[in-house]
A and B are shown apart, each in its own frame.
Chain A
């Protein structure tokens, strides 16, 4: 047997596993179910919910499998009368602090608590809800934290800290240490929503999830245009029981059409425009020796800079995010082409993101007095709408996106994964400056889920240093490095969420590193099969630059924005 392998027995089954893993990890890998609420593979072990109890032969009592390392010859029992009895009472105690809001809960179709309640025959109303009067906190136009649902696992606090934000804290209040938003005016939420996808009980949700999601359909005499982000096409299938990483682009289009959308466009086309503009900015900054140049399509990252590191604002590309450029184009270029009054158009974006709800209400993004995007729904919200209207993505006849703003290049699709924005920009920058030889399309150095990926890339005979940063916590480290050595990198891509938008705060739960990887791989698969893989070669991009983007002014109006130092936006709780 391999030196790094050990053998353990779980419920009578002999299992070979790697040394150093916990019993729970081994069980999960081997499809053995142990209930665990506070465990999340992205985070440190809490061992606070006391549900993952097991018995180990030769050791007295019960142990939590999340915090106990598997050891050679260990004989583990995951289910006994004693274990069931303990889990049942602990579950009842958890229900006693969790106010049920099942009908409007992010976990409505996939609630771990209720599943366990059934299997342990728990009386969920045995005790009155201790937290009935606990506050609901709203974090800007993006997130809601209903602390009456919180079961104190503190995953949100940890993930918020891991993001380098630390907006959520543990404070003693009314005799209990509880999760609360910070009162420090020097701290603010950046709306990434990682709290929401790491909460086991739906205490966090996007603003309006799900009570406000049909407002866009109530607009009278308006033309409803939907656009969906790159990362949706390989994640939303999960909500309908499809395997992780299933590509459902055309099913998604068909589903949205059924909801009543007039046209369905693809935000990846917007991404192609973003790429062209961002590649230009990068080349300019290199020319003017004004690097590093930071990517700007992630609104949490932008807010992070504007609030925590405003000294870096001049380094943020002014290029707008794909959904905003697209919204602007729909209400100008497309409206003109179709002879439609832009005031009559309602643009709804389906995003993997909670911060996108914040982005669309920025005044400075308006185009001719109109918001480029009127509504943002998260992946989860769209899935909820589909389920409500009995639209099953598993059994729907696929439909193609509408022309001309529905057909992206491969580069636009990979925007949904960490490294995708950088790769797209590099493809375009190289292609535009390279005079001869074979053109490099795939930049594998910038792919994958490492916290910081770096590479040296030759553009226009110059070596440029690029860094791709995955997760805001890593971004903080890179910014601190750049403070000391501003010439460390020329181009920096940052995605606030782990894995990029595939791991976004608006994406289906559960999510973990493996799931994010499958969602990302599927995006690269789409790209690899595309005939057009360079953003600037997308026919609609060419058309718009030729016929519509006739002046710098109009390019600026649709494609660029400005930034400013931000004060705290989330209201400071009074008590």
Chain B
């Protein structure tokens, strides 16, 4: 299972790229980590960079005639450039600094960015495995996915994954724990289970779903991120406004539901006048008709918060 957030089976991507016939192929390691309050890829870069490079090397060996890019968000690029270059040595791996905002982390927008265009998602199909970077078959995986590949190769993999834990907690940070733990268990294990009345956002600081404290007997899935909010101290409108602003700033403004729908959502939130019928209509088109996953996913936090905490 890939660790980028979509949970797509990694082996299928590898197989697909491998079976394509082409004179060259590309591997892209996506380190664009753009959601607020998620920093597990940064944690891997900081602590296990050699495992990451090892994972990419395995991909280079598996996929014939290939070369790789590591696509990094700006601060990661600055911070880890030297270190990574040293580890890369003579391997055909190029570091690339992310251009653009949140959308520039969407896998086909990553390709546009590397090719030197404004990062915007591409029409799929064709999928990158078939026609990716400069039209060649391309494998795109997240940093954590390559890390796990290396662990599996070394027989060290123990069904763990990384969790960013943030928000109103004592022990903020990134933890490597079993992927089968529930959110409640993770919070307890890391001594972060709050004593106050709280709610949780799981799977990303913008597009993650809101869960109440009695809904934590489930696993995280998606992006490994848990954010705790103190109910008494959180202004729900302010919270939603930060999401809305984040999405509006981070999207590419290409398709109608995402560009205009998010603008209208932000408008209602800023005025603190939520017309639930209109909101649902916009959610519907965002979810069902957006060009890419950004628009589809943007519905999740708003809808779950409004349904669970406001009505």
Residues of A within 8 A of B (CB): 45-51, 53, 61-62, 64, 67, 82, 85-86, 89-90, 92-94, 96-97, 126-127, 130, 151-152, 170, 175-178
Contact = CB atoms under 8 A, between A and B. Distances in A.
Given A93-B264, A96-B264, A177-B253, A53 B289 contact: yes
Given A47-B123, A67-B123, A94-B260, A62 B249 contact: no
Interface string B219-252: 0000000000000000000000000000011001
Given A46-B254, A48-B291, 15 more contacts: A48-B254, A48-B255, A50-B255, A62-B288, A62-B289, A67-B123, A85-B284, A89-B281, A90-B285, A93-B261, A93-B282, A96-B260, A97-B260, A152-B256, A177-B253
B257 interface: yes
Contacts of A49: 255-256
25 contacts: A45-B123, A47-B123, A48-B291, A49-B256, A50-B285, A50-B290, A51-B256, A53-B289, A62-B289, A82-B288, A86-B289, A89-B285, A90-B285, A90-B289, A93-B264, A127-B264, A127-B267, A130-B263, A152-B254, A152-B256, A175-B249, A176-B253, A176-B259, A177-B253, A177-B254
A478 B261 CA distance: 44
A48 B256 contact: yes
Nearest to A127: B264
B118 interface: yes
Contacts of B254: 46, 48, 152, 177
B284 A47 contact: no
B123 A86 contact: no
A402 to B, nearest CB: 51
Contacts of A50: 255-257, 285, 289-291
Nearest to B124: A67
Contacts of B267: 127
A130 B248 CA distance: 14
A90 B259 contact: no
A177 B252 contact: yes
Nearest to B100: A172
Nearest to A177: B253
A176 B260 CA distance: 10
A152 B253 CA distance: 8
A177 B251 CA distance: 9
Nearest to B123: A67
Nearest to B278: A126
B256 A93 contact: yes
Q: Considering the complex of A and B, which 4 residue pairs feature the smallest CB-CB distances, nearest first?
A: A93-B260, A177-B253, A50-B289, A89-B285
Contacts of B282: 89, 93
B255 to A, nearest CB: 5
Nearest to B118: A170
Contacts of A151: 256
B288 A86 contact: yes
A151 B257 CA distance: 12
Contacts of A127: 264, 267
A130 B249 contact: no
A93 B284 CA distance: 13
Given A50-B285, A86-B288, A170-B118, A130 B255 contact: no
Interface string B97-117: 000000000000000000000
Nearest to A95: B260
Contacts of B249: 175
Contacts of B259: 97, 152, 176
Nearest to A45: B123
A93 B257 contact: yes
A168 to B, nearest CB: 14
